[in-house]
């Protein structure tokens, strides 16, 4: 029996904050951990430390935290409150102004693109994780069939045929012997880079030359999707339990790697490169642009995931508190990961007798080339490699859970039938299968080209446009005063004045700045020395536009379907909130949202309306009483009904 149908006192139903039909998080810790897992992803490890180093070290922290306070946290709070108030996914929330539902479809398109290539990155991490289950990492030496004559490792191969103890000893002593030779080479190719290119990817020479499907990577992709599906098989009920491990264990691994890293020779040098302030760079607009972009993309704004995760909260949950906790945790993780990365890179640079800048990298180059190579210098290197790639897998899965749940929730909420709600697992499985099939081309020999193309274009300026339109719709089309009252009704207090100002003015201005900065700083994508052909860049722009184009197309469709004789009337009606907009449960629909309750739910109506209906019932009761008395021959008549 539904909790809302239970009765403790006759005539007084028990109010519940649970959405029994749609489901809720088991507790608030599950929501916070899931959101942390969503926000804290691979970019925190392989992008932020490099950006910080490149943009002035410690000086970059200043614009980074300024952007966090004035853009990151306000947008995070806006999306959480938006989804929690309506208890709907990224499509259902646009009952607030139906004409803008195309923004929700744009979010779905973006999440689809990211979900496809993100799981391919996870599957490659799986591949490296399995490859690390050996006594000697396969990218340690240059004596493998896939190596070229230009290969030169950081570890001498002299002890390769000796016992494991001799090999371990050579990890420390051998680097010094090859350092001079490495420096003198005009072009050094590391064994980890050749393992990545020639063995794992078997990369082709052009984005149009797909070659064959790399079966080991395809198998790992299947494993990735099966893991994601099993963790989401019961929606938030199952994923909420999984995140207790997936969202917390990466911090254990980071701490282990950090402790190991700072004890190495040269680690201090690497950390100095990471943190040493270059204050003159604060005056560079590019530094501020990078800080704003990193905050925006790192928190996952405009993907639809924040709205979706918050929609499973109880109505009166304090999402204001949650937004601050999650945002600060995300940024603190980025800073912490920088120590882990640069302590190891500093150690590697020390052994090679080169500058840290020559070994620093970002993206796949850091995760699958530079860092794995540095790990070969450590004693018991397979252990550290296992930990590192296991951490990458968990960081990726935390984000992937939310991306898949975003799509599934949007589909289930939009169709909304009892059958599809009961069979949500079928929808989850269907979306996972489609995601796997769409990811197959990325496992070919040209897959890395397409992966980077999607990463650079599918979720770039389109996210900024989506977020900007969302702010404009809520604050200016729906109305900031109404939304502030909605938040107050939900939380019990209005949004602090700082957030009201940011939502209306500051955040949209910063978002516009990010968009302008993205356009000005645009450079055609390259991969190492490979320059992408024009037709592939055109496909990239089409991917970027495919999410944005949803907004005007649906707006025109909604205007055409709206009532009205003139265009302005139709436009006005299409912008009005839908009758279903508001809290999902009847017990929360008070004031402007009060509606007659359905069976099994608490009916909440204004007090005056209840009093008027009570008066009418009393009048009818008195009239019936007079009629009965007259038929019995009673001489007592009361022509004035009691109040």
C-beta of residue 78 within 8 angstroms of C-beta of residue 501: no
Measure the CA–CA gap between 467 and 42, rounded to whole angstroms. Answer: 22
Q: Which helix (H) or strand (E) holds 524?
A: none
Helices (H) and strands (E) in the chain, counts: 29, 4
Coil vs helix vs strand at 515: helix
Tokens 């030496």 label which residue? 141
Ramachandran assignment for 354, one of left (phi > 0), alpha (psi -120 to 50 degrees), beta (any other):
beta
**Two tokens, residue 531:** 């320059």
Each as own residue / partner, the long-range contacts of residues 588-597 (CB below 8 Å, 24 or more positions apart, any chain) are 588/315, 588/489, 590/489, 591/489
Coil vs helix vs strand at 526: strand
Q: In Å, how far are 150, 370, 380, 445, 595 from 194, measured between CA atoms?
A: 10, 12, 22, 14, 66
Measure the CA–CA gap between 330 and 178, rounded to whole angstroms. Answer: 40
Strand-pair category, 530-531 with 526-527: antiparallel
Binding residues: 37, 39-40, 44, 298, 330, 395
Q: Burial level of 251, CB count in 10 A (0-12/13-18/19+)?
A: middle
Residues β-bridged to residue 527: 530
Measure the CA–CA gap between 303 and 409, rounded to whole angstroms. Answer: 13
Measure the CA–CA gap between 159 and 179, rounded to whole angstroms. Answer: 17
What is the CB neighbour count within 10 angstroms for residue 227? 20
Measure the CA–CA gap between 629 and 643, rounded to whole angstroms. Answer: 19
Measure the CA–CA gap between 510 and 508, rounded to whole angstroms. Answer: 5
Binding residues for Na(+): 37, 39-40, 44, 298, 330, 395
Residue 85's contacts (CB-CB under 8 Å, 6 or more residues apart) are 315, 486, 487, 490, 582, 583
Q: In Å, how far are 363, 489, 503, 504 from 495, measured between CA atoms?
A: 37, 11, 10, 12
Measure the CA–CA gap between 550 and 544, rounded to whole angstroms. Answer: 11
Tokens 């950081």 label which residue? 154
- The backbone torsions φ and ψ at residue 290, rounded to the nearest 5 degrees and listed phi first, read -65, -40
């Amino acid at each position: 029996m539904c909790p809302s149908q239970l009765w403790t006192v006759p005539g007084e139903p028990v109010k519940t904050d649970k959405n029994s039909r749609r489901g809720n998080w088991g507790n608030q810790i599950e929501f916070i951990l899931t959101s942390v897992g969503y926000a804290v992803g691979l970019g925190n490890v392989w992008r932020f430390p490099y950006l910080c180093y490149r943009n002035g070290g410690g000086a970059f922290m200043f614009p980074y935290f300024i952007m966090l306070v004035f853009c990151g946290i306000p947008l995070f709070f806006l999306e959480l409150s938006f989804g929690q108030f309506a208890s709907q996914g990224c499509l259902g929330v646009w009952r607030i102004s139906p004409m803008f539902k195309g923004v929700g479809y744009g979010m779905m398109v973006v999440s689809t693109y990211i979900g496809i290539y993100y799981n391919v990155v996870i599957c490659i991490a799986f591949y490296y994780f399995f490859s690390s289950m050996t006594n000697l990492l396969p990218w340690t030496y240059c004596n493998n069939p896939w190596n070229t004559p230009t290969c030169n490792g950081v570890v001498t191969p002299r002890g390769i045929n000796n016992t494991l103890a001799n090999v371990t000893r050579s990890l420390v002593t051998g680097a010094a012997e090859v350092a001079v030779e490495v420096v003198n080479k005009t072009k050094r190719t590391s064994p980890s880079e050749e393992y990545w290119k020639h063995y794992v990817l078997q990369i082709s020479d052009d984005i149009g030359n797909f070659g064959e499907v790399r079966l080991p990577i395809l198998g790992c992709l299947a494993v990735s999707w099966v893991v994601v599906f099993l963790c989401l098989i019961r929606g938030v009920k199952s994923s909420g339990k999984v995140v207790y491990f997936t969202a917390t264990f990466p911090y254990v691994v980071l701490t282990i790697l950090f402790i190991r890293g700072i004890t190495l020779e040269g680690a201090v040098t690497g950390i100095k490169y990471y943190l040493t302030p270059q204050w003159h760079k604060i005056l560079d607009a590019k530094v501020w642009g990078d800080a704003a972009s990193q905050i925006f993309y790192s928190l996952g704004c405009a993907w639809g995931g924040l709205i979706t995760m918050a929609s499973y909260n109880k109505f009166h949950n304090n999402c204001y508190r949650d937004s601050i906790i999650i945002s600060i945790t995300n940024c603190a993780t980025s800073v912490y990961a920088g120590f882990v990365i640069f302590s190891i890179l500093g150690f590697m640079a020390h052994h090679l007798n080169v500058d840290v800048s020559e070994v620093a990298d970002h993206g796949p180059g850091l995760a699958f080339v530079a860092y794995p190579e540095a790990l070969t210098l450590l004693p018991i290197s397979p252990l550290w490699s296992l930990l590192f790639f296991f951490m990458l897998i968990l960081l990726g899965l935390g984000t992937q859970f939310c991306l898949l749940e975003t799509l599934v929730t949007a589909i289930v909420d939009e169709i909304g039938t009892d059958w599809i709600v009961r069979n949500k697992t079928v929808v989850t499985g269907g979306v996972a299968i489609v995601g796997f099939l769409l990811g197959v081309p990325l496992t070919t020999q040209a897959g890395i080209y397409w992966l980077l193309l999607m990463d650079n274009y599918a979720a770039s300026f389109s996210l900024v446009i989506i977020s900007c339109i969302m702010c404009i719709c809520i604050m200016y089309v729906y109305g900031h005063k109404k939304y502030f009252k909605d938040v107050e009704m939900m939380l019990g207090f209005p949004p602090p004045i700082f957030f009201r100002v940011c939502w209306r003015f500051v955040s949209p201005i910063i978002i516009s700045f990010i968009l302008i900065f993205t356009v000005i700083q645009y450079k055609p994508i390259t991969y190492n020395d490979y320059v992408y052909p024009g037709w592939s860049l055109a496909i990239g722009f089409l991917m970027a536009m495919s999410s944005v184009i949803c907004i005007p197309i649906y707006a025109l469709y909604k205007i055409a379907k709206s009532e009205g004789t003139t265009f302005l009337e139709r436009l006005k009606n299409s912008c009005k909130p839908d009758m279903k907009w508001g809290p999902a449960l009847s017990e929360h629909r008070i004031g402007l949202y009060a509606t007659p309750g359905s069976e099994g739910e608490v009916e909440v109506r204004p007090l005056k309306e209840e009093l008027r209906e009570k008066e009418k019932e009393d009048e009818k009761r008195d009239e019936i009483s007079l009629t009965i008395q007259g038929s019995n021959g009673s001489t007592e008549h009361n022509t004035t009904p009691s109040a």
